[in-house]
Amino acid sequence: MTYQPSIRQQERIAYRRGRAVRSVLLAAASTAVVGVGLAVGITGAPGWERVKESFFDLDTAQKYLPQILEGLWLNLKLLVVCATLALALGLLVAVLRTLRGPVFFPVRALATGYTYSFRGLPLIIVLYLFAFGIPGLRLKGTPDVLVLGAAAIIVTYGAYLAEVFRAGIESVHPSQIAAARSLGLSYRQAMRHVVLPQAVRRVAPPLLNDTVALQKDVGLISLAGPIDAIRAAQIGVAQDADFTPYIVAGVLFVLLALPLIAVTDWVTLRAARRQNAGT
């Protein structure tokens, strides 16, 4: 027998549906009003024509778009490499900071000093130290500035991600490690099979947020010299005395970040639903 909702239940469903439709219409109307107001206010400003010519010139955008896209490909490759290695480094440092026993005190001290130092240092300073300081030592086998710049990004974000991982590890109740040890698992096996899977799942949203921030900061590699999207835009600005290439690069970075931001929001919402459901 097919379930048929009662008349009162149908009235509730219709009422909620009507409220949802009204909410969507109200949100759309208010957004349109605000958008029109901003557009009128900006385009009606006395210096709008000059700003439009200097920042939003379509011909200049089309002229430098291919070079900026070519540079963006370098940024994308850097993002994949730096994010992967920074996550691995952060996880390693987090595990080292959670080691117990006095024999591991030097390891914990080094890991703590690393996280404190690189979380406090601005990335741009670390980038200059790696890209220009290390080559100044004139050591044999020194990598090029692209590799050194990527290393600066990795060690800096590795420190941030290490604290995120450590928070996730410490959020797992010690009784779970004790239970795993009572079943015959070693400490390493308990961390691998019991603690880390739960820790990573719990801190997935902040990890993804840091990855979004990393996606933007890979553009700082241009300070070391490689021609990425930012450097290509800078060259275009210098040649035409027009800031439009910067706007093009900014739009491309936003488009590059949108899928990752959407995944971050979905994972955050999913984690919130799990927590509310008690699972």
Which residues constitute the domain of residue 93? 63-277
Give 263-279 pLDDT, tens digit per residue: 888 877 877 777 666 55
In this structure, is residue 106 part of a structural domain? yes
What pLDDT was estimated at residue 277?
Answer: 64
In this structure, is residue 167 part of a structural domain? yes
What pLDDT was estimated at residue 113?
Answer: 92
In this structure, is residue 20 part of a structural domain? no
Q: Is the dihedral of CA 40, 45, 48, 51 positive or negative?
A: negative
Q: How confident is the model at residue 192 (pLDDT cuts 50, 70, 90)?
A: confident
Contact (Cβ atoms closer than 8 angstroms) between residue 209 and residue 264: yes
In this structure, is residue 29 part of a structural domain? no
Region 189-195: mean pLDDT is 82
- CATH number of domain containing 270: 1.10.3720.10
In this structure, is residue 8 part of a structural domain? no
- Which run of H or E residues covers position 34? helix 7-43
Give 142-175 pLDDT, tens digit per residue: 888 889 999 999 999 999 999 999 888 888 888 8
φ/ψ bin of 141: left (φ > 0), alpha (ψ from -120 to 50), beta (otherwise): left
Angle formed at CA 115 by CA 129 and CA 191, multiple of 5 degrees: 135
In this structure, is residue 79 part of a structural domain? yes
Burial of 120 (0-12, 13-18, 19+ CB in 10 A): exposed
In this structure, is residue 55 part of a structural domain? no
pTM across the whole model? 0.81
Query: How many domains would you assign to the chain?
Result: 1
